[in-house]
Structure 1
Amino acid sequence: MDRSNWISAFLMQWLLMSVGSSPLSVVVYTSCKVGLPAVLPCSVASHFPSDLTPHIQWQTISDSVFERMGAELFQGESYKDRADVPEEQLVRGNCSLFLQDVRFSDAGIYKSYLVVGESSIKNRIFIQSVQLAVIDHKAIQSVMTGEDLILDLYTDQAEQVIFQNSSENDWTVLWERGAVKKSHLKERGNKLTLRKVSARSAGTYKVLDSEGLALSTVKVTVTEPVLPKETETLQIQSALGKATMSMPPLSLNALFLIFILMIQIN
C-alpha cells in the first residue's frame, strides 16, 4: 500500500470513529416558525486534522440541499441564498445546516453525510437524520380606539392579508403585495400598520403566502381609552355642578311654609 492510500485509509478509519455508527432509524426532531431561521444540528468531531479539508453534504429524500468542501459550495435550487454550513464552524466539527427564511415546503427529513476519499473514489459516511417541522405564527393583540395596529408580516413570502370582523363570517382582502395601497395602511419592511383603528377593526387577521397558507393568525380586540383619574374626577364634578344649576328655584309658598315651621320649632 503506497503512502497516499495509507493516509486515505487512516483518515477513513478516523472519520468512522469520529462520526460513529448512528442507525438510520435515529432521527433528531426540531421545529421552526415560518419565515424565521432554523438550525439543523450536526456534529462529527471536536476538530478535523489540519491536512484534511472536510466535505459535507445535506440532502432530503428528493433534493440536494447543500454541499461544501472548503470554500467551494453548492446550494440546491430551492435553497438558493438560504442554506449554509459555515466553513469556520465545519473545520471545528460543527456541520449544522443553517436555513434562512424557512418555508412550509422546507418541512421534512434531512440527512447529512461526510464525503471522503480520492477524487476518483468517493465514499459517503452517514452522520445524522434531522426532521424539521415548520409551524405558523399565532398571536393575540389588544389596541385602543384611535391607535395604530401593527401586523408583523414576518417574511417576503407574505402575499396577502385578509380580515374577518368579529360580527361577520366573510373574509375581506385588506392588503396584497404589489397592489395599490389603501390610505389607512402603511407598509414598511415586513410590517403592516393600520392607522387609527375603530371598533370595527376588531376581529381576525391572517397573513397568507402565495399558496394561500396562513403564515400567521392574529386575533385583535379594540378597547376604549381609559381616562386618567384627574380627568375622570373633573368630569364627575362638572356633571354634579350642572345638575345643581339645573334644579328649579323654590316657590314663595314653599319658602312661607319653611318660615312657619321654623317659628313653631322655636
Structure 2
Amino acid sequence: MTTTNNRISAFLMLWLIICASSSPFSGVVHTSSKVGLPAVLPCSVASHLESDHTPHIQWHTISYSVLERMGQDQFQGEAYRDRANVPEELLVRGNCSLFLQDVRFSDAGIYESYLVYGESNIKNRIFIQSVHLAVIDHKAIKSVETGADLILDLYTHQAEQVIFQNSTETNWTVLWEKDGIINNKDYLKKRDHKLILRRVTNSNSGTYKVLDLEGLALSTVKVKVTEPVLIKETEALEKQSALGQATMSMPPLSLITLFLTFNLMLQMN
C-alpha cells in the first residue's frame, strides 16, 4: 500500500512539473512603467517571418483584446483606443513589440502576443510571448525656498484631484480638482500638466498627492519649505558687522588699565 502511494505521489509530482514547464506563463517577461508614462512590451517574430507575407499580430490580456495589426490595418481594443500601437515599420522587420501610451493602473497584468497565419477562411495562431506589466506610482521629495514657486507634475490626463496635508496636521485638504474652480487664483496656476503654487511660505510644507478618478495616488511628493540662502548670508553679515562696530566702539584695554591706575593714585594722595 505504501509503495502504491509513493508511486501515485511521484506521478502527481511529475505531472505538476510537466504542466508548469508547458505553461506559457512559465517564461513570462517582466517589465514596468510609471503611471502616465509610455511602456514597451517586448516581442519578436523574426524566426517565424516569411518574406512574402506581412506579419499578422495579436495582443491580448486575459480579459481584453488590446491590439491586432496586419500591414496598415490595425484594430485597437476599447480600453486601449489611441494608446496602443505596434509600429508597422518595426513589424516588417520582425519586431512585434507593443507600445502603450499614458499607462494606467488598470493596464497592469499579463499580456500575450500571437502570430496569426493561414488562409482568409482558416486562421491559426502561434503563441509568441507573455509579458507581465507592472504599473507604479511616482514618489519624490522636494525642497523649495520661501517666496519661490512650487511646481507639481500632474503627469497625465488621468489626474483628477490634488490633495495636501500640512506637515503639522493630520487632515487632507483638496487643493485642486480637474475642471473645478480654483479658489486661490492669485497663487495657484495650472499649465502643461503642471500645478504651480506661487510664492510659497512655511505653511506649504507637507505632503501632496495627485489622485486619479478611482482615488489612487498617481504621485506623492513630500515638500520642505526653507529660508533662502541669500537671506541667511545677509543675516550672518549683519551680525558680523554689528559685532565689529561694537568692538570698535570699545576703548582699548590698555587705556582702561591706565585710567584705573591713575584714579587709584589720586585717591591714595
Q: TM-score range by the shorter chain?
A: 0.7 to 0.9
Normalising by structure 2, we get a TM-score of: 0.81
Given the alignment of the two structures, is residue 220 of structure 1 paired with residue 223 of structure 2, yes or no? yes
Out of 255-264 and 216-225, give the one that drifted further. 255-264
Q: Which moved more, 1:61-70 or 1:23-32?
A: 23-32
Q: Distance in 2 between matches of 1:260 and 1:246?
A: 22
Unaligned runs of 5+ residues in structure 1 are: 1-20, 248-254
Match of 2:189 in 1: 186
Between the aligned partners of 1:208 and 1:144, the Cα distance in structure 2 is: 26
Specify which of 232, 238, 243 is matched with residue 240 of structure 1: 243
- SS of the equivalent of 1:157 reads coil
Q: Measured at CA, do residues 172 and 229 of structure 1 come closer, stay the same or move farther in structure 2, by a change above 3 Å?
A: closer
Post-superposition Cα deviations, 1:169-204, rounded to whole Å, max 9, x if no partner, equal: 000000111112222111111111101111111100
Whole-angstrom distance in 1 between the partners of 2:222 and 2:265 = 68
Name the amino acid aligned to 2:73: E
Segments of 4+ moved more than 4 angstroms: 241-247, 255-258, 261-264
Aligned position for 2:151: 150
Q: Compared with structure 1, are the counterparts of its residues 229 and 105 closer, same or farther at alpha carbon in structure 2 (3 Å cutoff)?
A: closer
Gaps of 5+ in 2: 1-20, 251-257
Tell me if the contact between 1:142 and 1:220 (Cα under 8 Å) persists in the aligned partners.
yes
The residue aligned with 1:54 is: 55
Q: How does 1:108-147 map to 2 (within 5 A)?
A: 108-147=109-148
Aligned partner letter, 1:128 = Q
Give the 3 Å change call, closer, same or farther, for CA 257–41 of structure 1 in structure 2: closer
State the aligned residue count: 238
- For 2:81, the aligned partner's letter is K
Q: 1:140 to 1:262 in 2, by over 3 A?
A: farther
Report the alpha carbon displacement of residue 258 of structure 1 after superposing the two structures with TM: 5.5
2:82 is matched with which residue?
Answer: 81
Deviations 1:153-177 (A, max 9, x none): 1001001000000000000000111
**RMSD, aligned CA:** 2.6
CA deviation vs aligned residue, 1:43-67 (integer Å, no higher than 9, x gap): 1116833310110000011110000
Question: What letter matches 2:24 in structure 1?
Answer: L
> Aligned equivalents of 1:42 and 1:98: distance in 2?
10
The one-letter amino acid paired with 1:197 is V
- Output the CA distance in 2 between the equivalents of 1:229 and 1:61: 59
Structure 1 position 245, deviation (Å): 9.4
1:199 aligned residue: 202
Please state how far the C-alpha of 1:225 moved relative to its aligned partner.
1.3
Matched residues in 1 for 2:45 and 2:147: separation? 57
Instruction: Give SS of 1:42's match.
Output: coil
TM-score (norm: length of structure 1): 0.82
What's the offset of the Cα at 1:226? 1.8
* AA of the residue aligned to 2:152: L
Deviation at 1:260, TM superposition (A): 3.0
State the one-letter code of the partner of 1:174.
L
Percent of pairs identical after alignment?
76
**Structure with the higher fraction of residues in helix conformation:** 2
Counterpart-to-counterpart distance in 1, 2:187 and 2:49: 58
